C-alpha cells in the first residue's frame, strides 16, 4: 500500500510541473470518474427490449435564437435497435424570437456497454417561430443527429442528444439533456 507521502512523491515524479491546486483537481477528477465508471458497470439495466416505452422531459440550447428550450418526449422501441421518438417543445424567447416545435424522429440505438447506448437519429420536424414584431414563420424540415442513453436504474434513464433541423430560413441545432421514466 502507498502511504500519503508515497502518493505525493509518485505524483511529483510523474507530473512534476503541476501546482498543488491542479494536483488536487486531478485527484477529484479521478475520484469522480471512478465513481461514474462504477455506477455504469454496476447498473442493473442492460439494454432496451421490444415494447419498451419511455416518457421524459429534456432541456437544452437552440442555436437559431441562441436560447434555451424544453421538450416532452415519448419513445417506443419496435425492436432492440429501432425506436420512434415523437416530441413537442418550446423554445424560450431570446433575441426577439421564440418557437414551438414538434418532431418525429427514428432512433437506432446500439449498446456500447452495460446500461450505455449510442444512437444516430433521423426524422421530420415542424417549427413555428414567433418574432418580437408579432410576425411568425412556420417551417417543416428534416432532423439528423445522435445521442446516448445512460440507464441509471431499470426505470430511469438519462439522455444526451444533439440534432440539426434542416429547414429553409430557420434551421439550427438543438442540444439537450433529459431524464426519462422507462416502463
DSSP bridge pairs for 82: 79
Which residues have a Cβ under 8 Å from the Cβ of 127 and sit 6 or more positions away?
99, 100, 101, 138, 139, 140, 141, 165, 167, 170
pLDDT digits (tens, 9 = 90+) for 165-183: 999 988 999 999 999 999 9
CATH code linked to domain 53-182: 2.40.160.20
- Look at residue 134 and tell me whether its pLDDT is greater than 60: yes
Q: 173 in helix, strand or coil?
A: strand
Boundaries of every domain in the chain: 4-42, 53-182
Confidence of residue 50 (pLDDT cuts 50, 70, 90): confident
Range scoring the smallest mean pLDDT among 2-6, 43-47, 50-54, 88-92:
43-47
pLDDT in tens, 18-38: 555 555 666 666 666 666 665
pLDDT at res. 45: 44
Mean pLDDT of the chain: 85
Q: Which pTM value belongs to this model?
A: 0.72
pLDDT at 16 over 80: no
| Residue 1 binned pLDDT confidence (cut-offs 50, 70, 90) | low
Sorted by sequence, the CB contacts under 8 Å of residue 5 that are 6+ apart come out as: none
Amino acid at each position: 500500500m502507498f502511504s500519503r507521502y508515497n502518493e505525493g512523491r509518485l505524483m511529483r515524479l510523474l507530473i512534476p510541473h503541476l501546482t498543488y491546486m491542479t494536483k488536487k483537481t486531478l485527484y477529484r477528477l479521478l475520484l469522480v470518474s471512478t465513481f461514474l465508471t462504477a455506477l455504469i458497470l454496476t447498473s442493473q439495466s442492460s439494454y432496451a427490449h421490444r415494447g419498451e416505452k419511455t416518457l421524459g422531459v429534456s432541456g437544452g440550447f437552440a442555436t437559431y435564437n441562441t436560447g434555451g428550450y424544453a421538450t416532452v418526449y415519448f419513445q417506443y422501441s419496435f425492436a432492440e435497435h429501432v425506436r420512434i421518438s415523437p416530441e413537442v417543445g418550446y423554445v424560450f424567447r431570446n433575441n426577439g424570437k421564440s418557437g414551438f416545435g414538434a418532431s418525429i424522429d427514428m432512433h437506432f440505438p446500439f449498446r456500447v456497454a452495460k446500461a450505455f447506448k449510442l444512437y444516430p437519429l433521423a426524422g421530420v420536424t415542424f417549427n413555428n417561430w414567433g418574432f418580437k414584431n408579432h410576425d411568425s414563420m412556420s417551417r417543416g424540415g428534416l432532423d439528423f443527429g445522435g445521442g446516448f442513453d445512460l440507464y441509471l436504474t431499470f426505470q430511469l434513464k438519462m439522455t444526451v442528444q444533439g440534432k440539426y433541423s434542416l429547414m429553409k430560413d430557420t434551421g439550427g441545432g438543438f442540444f439537450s439533456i433529459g431524464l426519462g421514466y422507462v416502463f
